Amino acid sequence: MKKKIIGLCAILLLASGCGKIPTLENGQEAIVTFENGDMISVDDFYTAIKDTYGLQTLITMIDTYVLETEFPDYVDEAHTRGDAYADAYVESLGSEQAVLDNYGFQSMDDFREYWYLTMLQSHAIEEYAKDQITDEQIEDYYNNDVIGDMEISHILITPNVDEDATDEETDAAEEEAQATVEEIIGLLNEASENGEDIESVFAELAEEYSEDEDTKDDGGSLGRINYGDLSSNYDELITAAEELEDGEYSTEVITTELGYHVVLKVKSYEKDSLDDVRDEIIDTLSQEYVNDNDDAGINALQHYRRAYGMEIQDDEINKQYSNYITNMLLQLQQSSETTE
């Protein structure tokens, strides 16, 4: 956006150096002239466009200035991420022209600038949310939610269901998968009663039964993990392992989006110190703050605009801006009430 503004200024400077700009009788500069001597003034043009494009264009210019000034170290990353989003749309739709036709942009530069600013705004919202997190919240989260790493192994059984299976066939496959897990638990119970080494028995059962091709030949080992290390599909396994002692296995069927599981907790570790995980906790809590507060985005951008003393001098556009903020907050409130 800065390059475009600088380029525009350069063009205007060149134009002004090429000759005298025509003026109306009242002294206003003309932006268009006609052969009969009539003219369209800059003021007329400004008045005409400000009611249609003025507010959104101004907000774009305001946020670009404010956020580039506030987060100069993020500018390059915002460009990189914005370009990646733009390229993904081009790949998805098949061509740049298809993107322009579908989303109403005049050029790909405009489309890329849109995503660049979107990345800047997203970063600003994230940083604003982090500032809302208190030390008390951080300590509470550490004490109640942070756990140490665990070495976990699992055996996965997936229902054998075809895409065109009936409801009855699906239910039967689900029941069969759960029965297999219960059978595995029974075998582990027998091994435990016989004093056998559970980790070795678990590894043998994983190789025989598990349908997780990435882990079955390694005793079902998921390695040393914690929340966030794997996809959320594995969170239930971590939760179940929290309740186990080292060397214990789950005695109830664990259900996830992946299927049905048995879990073995191989080894547990002490959790990291608060200082070591503080930034991760803030990231987590700030994301929860954004998710829980529908107005977090608009409040964040308003915060940074006010921090730079932003004031709109044009009375009409200032009125439009106030109405825009009020309507946005009202829509967010109504949307929140609808989803509750």
The reported pLDDT for the residue numbered 37 is 78
* CATH topology assigned to domain 148-268: Chitinase A; domain 3 (3.10.50)
Better-scored residue on pLDDT, 251 or 46? 251
The reported pLDDT for the residue numbered 1 is 40
pLDDT above 70 as % of the chain:
90
Map residue 85 onto helix, strand or coil. helix
Query: pTM for the complete prediction?
Result: 0.72
Strand spans (E) along 90-132: none
- Take residue 318 and report the two structure tokens written for it: 């200032």
Cβ(202)–Cβ(188) below 8 Å: yes
pLDDT tens per residue, range 107-134: 999 999 999 999 999 999 999 999 999 9
Q: What is the mean pLDDT of the chain?
A: 88
Residue 8 has pLDDT above 80, yes or no: no
Average pLDDT in the 236-241 region?
A: 95
Average pLDDT in the 43-69 region?
A: 84
Cβ(322)–Cβ(305) below 8 Å: no
Domain ranges of the chain: 2-132+291-339, 148-268
CA neighbours closer than 13 Å in the CB half-sphere of residue 120: 26
Map residue 153 onto helix, strand or coil. strand
The number of beta carbons lying within 10 Å of the beta carbon of residue 299 is 17
